[in-house]
A and B are shown apart, each in its own frame.
Chain A
Amino acid sequence: SQQGEEDPQALSIQEGENATMNCSYKTSINNLQWYRQNSGRGLVHLILIRSNEREKHSGRLRVTLDTSKKSSSLLITASRAADTASYFCATVLMIKAAGNKLTFGGGTRVLVKP
């Protein structure tokens, strides 16, 4: 079973617009990561936010984390056609024995129209 749920499941925007997607999870985490997956390919790591952090930036990406609400958001600013992909949040649990395995949400499919 998957730890998180992502919202929306699909998003269609025009190039230049911002895209925001949300992730909710169920149990206490060590960190939360966002990955991108182009159609039928492997996952590319985008950004990691630790449980004691609230916001993080990387280029056009902004991630927030609210541990009290067990939720995170990913904002992509000034989107480009090349940002078309599925985006997944993944959590690493607090339990030491979890071995840093990732528990993924169902993903948000983003379409950026030129």
Chain B
Amino acid sequence: DTGVSQDPRHKITKRGQNVTFRCDPISEHNRLYWYRQTLGQGPEFLTYFQNEAQLEKSRLLSDRFSAERPKGSFSTLEIQRTEQGDSAMYLCASSLAGGGVNEQYFGPGTRLTVT
């Protein structure tokens, strides 16, 4: 257990439905990242926050995806009008910025299946 939690762990939804995932980072970590991992591939960066500010979004993050981190604590990732291609593992990670190099601590992931 890295101290990063994600909820739910598994989500099955029908195409066209909206889903929301939650990530609770390690409490003193000010950076929070979202990645997506499809079967047999490495994770791909989606977006990251420093405190409550969303500083970068990947072009993978279409306008159906939105992420928030109110008050710089937990974060949510919402996918609207889900498509079968959204089926993947969604991973959250947190780190402590400052002082240069830092490692990221990953949560267990939320596995999304869109039917």
Bound CA span A30–B103, Å = 12
Please tell me the number of chain A residues within 8 Å of chain B, measured between CB atoms: 27
Q: Which of B48, B106, B111 contacts A40 (CB 8 A)?
A: B111
CB of A31 within 8 Å of the partner chain: yes
> In the complex, are the beta carbons of B95 and A100 less than 8 A apart?
yes
Bound CA span A80–B46, Å = 34
CB of A43 within 8 Å of the partner chain: yes
6 contacts between A and B (CB under 8 A): A2-B42, A42-B4, A48-B103, A50-B101, A101-B33, A104-B44
Q: Which of A30, A45, A50, A88 contacts B42 (CB 8 A)?
A: A88
Distance to closest chain B CB from A45 (angstroms): 5
CB of B41 within 8 Å of the partner chain: yes
Bound CA span A2–B40, Å = 13
> In the complex, are the beta carbons of A99 and B50 less than 8 A apart?
yes
Q: Which residues of A contact B4 (CB under 8 A)?
A: 42
CB of B22 within 8 Å of the partner chain: no
